[in-house]
A and B are shown apart, each in its own frame.
Chain A
Amino acid sequence: MSEDDEIGPLVLAFLALSLVSIGGGIAVLPEMHRVVVEEHGWMDSLAFAKRFALAQAAPGPNIMVVGLIGWHVAGAAGMFAAMLAMCGPTSLLAYAVARLRQRDLPWLRVVERGLVPIAVGLIAASGLLLAKGTVDEAVLALPLAAVCTVFVTLSSRSPLWVLVAGAFYGALLL
């Protein structure tokens, strides 16, 4: 199948993902993994985890992983199409809510407070799934992921150090 044929499914997949991405790019990773790896078979688990790593190591919002998946499936056109699908419609919603928030509405706060724990639970699931992807490639990735989890939980240092440490650990041991 040529790359152009994949742009339609790509746009549809990320449109659908964007609408359920409560908690942002990282919270939706398990679902993105399900759609990209299991449903469409665009890449395997490890390739998925590595693209996430690449997006984390580059500057910018975490959601850039969507651009890398788009690139893998359909080149530069796929990158822009996937990013627009992921960001366009939800931006309009965010703008509408920003307008609403300018009047202080109590029910909006209750809804926000009720959704936050779901977002946090989904983010935790993302971490576990990403860790599994790397451990499948190299068992020695497990202690690294565990130590980084503890470090980030307990320390308020920039997460950049964790990524730098991971790069060195990988070069030496994996």
Chain B
Amino acid sequence: MTPSRTQLFLAYLRIGLTGFGGVNAWARQLLVEKKGWLTDQQYAEALGVGQVLPGPNALNCAINVGTRFHGAAGAALAAIGLFAGPMAVLLGVASLYDRYGQIPLVRAVLTGIAAAAAGMVLGTAIKMAIKLRPTAMLLATGLLALLLALLRVPLPLVLLGLAPLGIWAAHRTAR
């Protein structure tokens, strides 16, 4: 089933505005489960590409899905739909934070959310690593990336060093 351009735009507008804690889970629920525009496999592949390309992965994924249905116009509609709502909300949030950010209760709540968000990010990484079931070489590549990032090695250098290693390891297992 192929959505019309308007349906595609409205779906991404909704994904952007409901996507608390990152939009990928919400996008999957709407596109795959509710609308049935994509299969689970198709969505996972679109998201996977979004993750390995540079740039925000939710946005890359939206461009992938948009292109699939309506070419360049679809890509633009999905991207704009995804960001229109959150940008408006963010303008409000940023000015509220400037005014009330230093109140002790607000500070404490935000520190709590920040610590929880840190745990969420770390937990997500562990979950992804478990799901991938990487070969020893791929696991070593991931751990090296972790270590080098913690040592504050500039990311371009990390990528230049590790991308060939990762691709070589993936190539070996592909054969």
Contact = CB atoms under 8 A, between A and B. Distances in A.
B71 to A, nearest CB: 9
Contact of A60 (B16, B127, B171): B16
B152 A34 contact: yes
B53 interface: yes
Contacts of A56: 21-22, 113, 117, 120
A10 interface: no
Contacts of A147: 119
A148 interface: yes
B81 to A, nearest CB: 11
Contacts of B152: 30, 34, 38
A129 B132 CA distance: 23
Q: Tell me whether chain A's interface is mostly helix, strand or loop, or mixed.
A: helix
B21 A148 contact: no
Interface string A91-115: 1011101110110001001111111
Contacts of B125: 120-121, 123-124, 126-127
Contacts of B168: 114
Size range of the chain B interface in the assembly? 35 or more
B8 interface: no
Interface in A52-99: 52-64, 67-68, 71-72, 76, 79-80, 83, 86-87, 89-91, 93-95, 97-99
B54 A90 contact: yes
B95 to A, nearest CB: 8
Nearest to A151: B123
A61 B19 contact: yes
A12 interface: no
Given A61-B22, A71-B94, A124-B146, A145 B115 contact: yes
Contact of A25 (B57, B91, B123, B128): B57
A137 interface: yes
B142 A121 contact: yes
A54 B97 contact: yes
B17 interface: yes
Nearest to A88: B55
A50 B119 contact: no
Size range of the chain A interface in the assembly? 35 or more
B65 to A, nearest CB: 9
A71 B99 CA distance: 13
Contacts of A149: 119-120, 122-123, 126
A168 B113 CA distance: 9
Contacts of B59: 61, 63, 87, 90-91, 94
A41 B39 CA distance: 45
A55 B75 CA distance: 24
A115 B58 contact: no
A37 B103 CA distance: 23
Given A18-B54, A57-B20, A117-B142, 5 more contacts: A91-B63, A94-B75, A146-B119, A148-B116, A170-B111
Interface of B: 16-23, 25, 48-60, 63-64, 67-68, 72, 75, 79, 82-83, 85-87, 89-91, 93-94, 97, 101, 105, 108-130, 132, 134, 138-139, 141-147, 149-150, 152, 154-156, 158-159, 162-163, 165-171, 173-174
